[in-house]
Amino acid sequence: MNRRFPLLFFLALLLSGSSFPQIQDKEDFKSFLGDALIAPAHFDSKDFIPLGVSLAAISGSYFLDHQIKTLSQNNRTPTADKIFAADKYFVEIAASLSALTYFYGLAAENYKTRRLGLKLAEAFLLQATAMVSLKFLVGRERPASGTSNDSFNPFNTSWAFTSFPSGHTSTAFALASVIANDTDQIGWKITAWSLASAIGFSRIYNNEHWLSDVVAGALIGYFAGEFVSAHKSNNQSPRVQIIPIPLSVSIPLN
């Protein structure tokens, strides 16, 4: 888990630093960040419905943890091992692609691409903050380290006790949610959700997470992406900053 912290700090610095190249993006990110921090305080009855459904889904999947683990481990193949080994550096790749998307849009002067990169980075940071906090607070033992899905050691930074929730899955679903909301192309939507689901499955297949870890990660990522996509700062026309140019008037004296 420790290798994730440099990514969080890098993206946060990138988006909020004083040398940030786009003033509008810097201010929009600060607006988004502030609203994200106080969002739980503004929950209403409508918000508690999806929260309740999510908790029910996580609880229900908890009772299937051992069955799904046994099923996945008993059906491993050399080919599948190679395919699903690709998830190892997914989080690092996702963070890098988010930043590259933004800077490509900036260099190409493409507002839509630049804003997509900003939204991807915001979603990455939002889900990662929730994910890292829960890992530390819950301290659930990974399936590869123990035999039981109810082994917990809260406030533990050891990798063996960072199973809940799945960070790879929350990252994948956060980015998939942003991409799906950003395009009208059904092909891109299907691709985004399919890749996210494949990442979630790979974490179970590689015996890195229990099913309930993956379900929790998927829900965290999905809601993070939805929050980012719906935020007012990401649904406005580009503002043009007018910079006054000083004029010099020369009066001949001879």
Residue type, 184: D
Beta bridge partners of 152: 140
- Neighbouring residues of 105: CB distance < 8 A, sequence distance ≥ 6: 111, 112, 113, 114, 115, 116, 117
How far is the C-alpha of 54 from the C-alpha of 48, rounded, in Å? 10
How far is the C-alpha of 117 from the C-alpha of 9, rounded, in Å? 17
In the predicted model, what is the mean pLDDT of residues 41-65? 86
How far is the C-alpha of 145 from the C-alpha of 158, rounded, in Å? 11
| Strand intervals (E) in 62-156 | none
With tokens 């009066």, the residue in question is 251
- What values do phi and psi take at 147, rounded to 5? -115, -10
- How many C-beta atoms lie closer than 10 Å to residue 188's C-beta? 14
Q: Burial, 46: exposed, middle or buried (Cβ in 10 Å; 0-12, 13-18, 19+)?
A: exposed
How far is the C-alpha of 105 from the C-alpha of 22, rounded, in Å? 12
pLDDT in tens, 194-250: 999 999 999 999 999 999 999 999 999 999 999 899 877 777 665 544 334 344 444
Angle, vertex CA 225, rays to CA 114 and CA 93, nearest 5: 65
User: What's the pLDDT band for 189 if we cut at 50, 70, 90?
Assistant: very high
Query: Which stretch of DSSP H or E encloses residue 62?
Result: helix 45-62
pLDDT in tens, 121-132: 889 989 999 999
With tokens 């009855």, the residue in question is 45
**What is the model's pLDDT at position 73?**
95
Catalogue all structural domains in the chain, each as residue range(s) with its CATH number: 50-234 (1.20.144.10)
CA atoms 90, 92, 94, 96: torsion sign: negative
How far is the C-alpha of 214 from the C-alpha of 166, rounded, in Å? 5
pLDDT in tens, 150-185: 999 999 889 999 999 999 999 999 999 999 999 999
DSSP code, position 21: S
